[in-house]
Amino acid sequence: MRRLHLLRHAKSSWDDPALRDRDRPLAPRGQKAVARIARWVREHDVRPQLVLCSDARRARETLEGVLSGLGAPDVQIEEGLYAANAQALIERLRSLPDDVDEAMLVGHNPGLADVLLLLAEPGELRERARAKLPTGALATLEAELVSWSKLGPGCARLAALVFPRDIR
C-alpha cells in the first residue's frame, strides 16, 4: 500500500506588493489554518517517511507548521515544485524510492489539485475536491501499487480530504 498526502500551502499574505510571489509569507489566516492541520495530522497518525516541499516561502512555512506532527520524515525542499503542473508533479512522484510507503507533497494549485483529480478514482470526496481545493487543504490518497512508478489515472482511493475550516 502506498499513501500520498497532498498538502496545499496555507493562505499567503499580499501585504507587501514588492515581494516576489515565491517570497510571500503566510497570512495570519494561513497561520491559523496550519495550526488546525497540524492538530489533525497528529490526531490521525499522518507519518510520511518523505516530504517533498516547494521552495516558496508560504509552502515552507506551511510545512514548518505541521512538521512536528509528522514524526521524523526526510524533508526535501525542491525549486522545481514551485508552479509545477500536474504532469511534472506526477513524474516527480513516480521517481520516489520504492522503500518509501508514505509520502507528502506540499505545493500549489492548480498543479496539486490537478494531481489529486487525476490520481483519485471517482467518488464523493473527489467531487468535493473538484469543486474547490482551498489553501491549507490536505488530501490523502491510498493506492495498491508495488512501485511509485506505476502512479496513473484513477489508481488511488481518496481516503481523506480535510479543509482547515472544517477542523475545530
- pLDDT at residue number 52: 98
Predicted TM-score (pTM) of this structure: 0.97
* Domain residue extents for the chain: 2-166
Whether the per-residue pLDDT at 24 is higher than 90: the answer is yes
C-alpha cell at 78: 525542491
pLDDT tens per residue across span 79-91: 999 999 999 999 9
Domain 2-166 has CATH 3.40.50.1240: yes
Whether the per-residue pLDDT at 168 is higher than 90: the answer is no
Average pLDDT, the chain: 96
The 3-class secondary structure across 89-125, one letter per residue, is HHHHHHCCCCCCCEEEEEECCCHHHHHHHHHECCCHH
pLDDT tens per residue across span 111-146: 999 999 999 999 988 888 988 899 999 999 999 999
